[in-house]
Amino acid sequence: MKKVFKILLYIVAAVAAIIVCFAAFIQFRGIPNYTPTKVDLKIEYTPQRVEEGKRLASMLCKKCHMNQDGTSVSGKHMLDCPAAFGEAFSANITQDKEHGIGKWTDGELAAYIRTGVKPNGNYVPPYMPKFPHLSDEDLACIISWLHSEDPAVKPSSTVSIPCEPSWFCKFLCNVAIKALPYPTAPIAQADTNDLVALGKYCVQSRYQCFACHSADFATNNDLQPELSKGYCAGGNKMPDYTQKIIPTQNITFDDETGIGKWSLEDFSKAVKSGIMPNNQPALRYPMDPYVNLTDKEVEAIYVYLKTIPKIKNKVDRGV
């Protein structure tokens, strides 16, 4: 009996040692680096592209990268980063050549936005969304804006503060969350005459509504969004600036727990103005009103959400 007990102790000790070594490996290795994708791209910066890029950036870039003064996309402390991922600071993405992205080519910017890998090989953890399915034209518009005369992107010497990823974040980036592949074929714009197609594009690719409104960032599937756990059924625990948890709304058309009873007008008011239907409290941070969405985009998102599976998921949003 003593011999068996000894053997069990040795096994337990060995397993414990393996776990400790693995944890130490993850901690000291940190976020993996990758060989950046070389993209041969030269964009024509037209006034139309700059204007559309500015509109898209107001909903995709500025919320995270705009400084505390609201004058420049020179980065800030991301106080609303989920604590499980560590402490995050958004980067300086102004045209400054030393501290921003002033030296980056169109191809390097495209690779970074799509894959999450910087020109130096550094991979950006889940703090920053990646846009693998963004259309080539939308990508060109955003890059055109980054290279424009807009005051928000003018060179700023603000030094980007390195993020401090948690062990859990490092673990995810070593075993589950990887740099995304760069598309091997052109990505066309969604057909604006097909509301379902346009809505799907907005939800999955342009604005990535699914990312916040599915179950958890850790279980989202960036390449196949429909396979994300609890696709669009809400419950993702998102913190506000004080780290108070605000679970996301179920936006499937379940009548009881989702938005099945919302009219298009209800949906539009909630998304664009923050006014919730049926005397519910107003929409609140971390969901900001998307005032720059077009009416067609709002209608398309509404129509598309009607087509996806309804999921009964009652979310206690604390209101």
State residue 4's pLDDT score. 66
Helices within 30-135 (DSSP H only): 47-60, 62-65, 106-115
Listed residue (69, 67, 89) closest to 78, CA to CA: 89
State residue 230's pLDDT score. 97
Note whether 47-175 and 195-305 share their fold. yes
CA 9 to chain centre: 45
Task: Determine contact, residues 125/217, Cβ cutoff 8 Å.
Answer: no
Architecture (CATH level 2) of domain 195-305? Orthogonal Bundle (1.10)
Task: Determine contact, residues 112/105, Cβ cutoff 8 Å.
Answer: no
Does the domain made of 47-175 have the CATH classification 2.160.20?
no
For the chain, the domains span 47-175, 195-305
State residue 202's pLDDT score. 98
State residue 5's pLDDT score. 67
User: How confident is the chain (319 residues) per 10-residue block, as mean pLDDT?
Assistant: 69 76 81 94 97 97 92 93 89 96 97 96 88 97 98 96 92 89 96 97 97 92 96 93 90 96 95 86 83 97 98 83
State residue 60's pLDDT score. 94
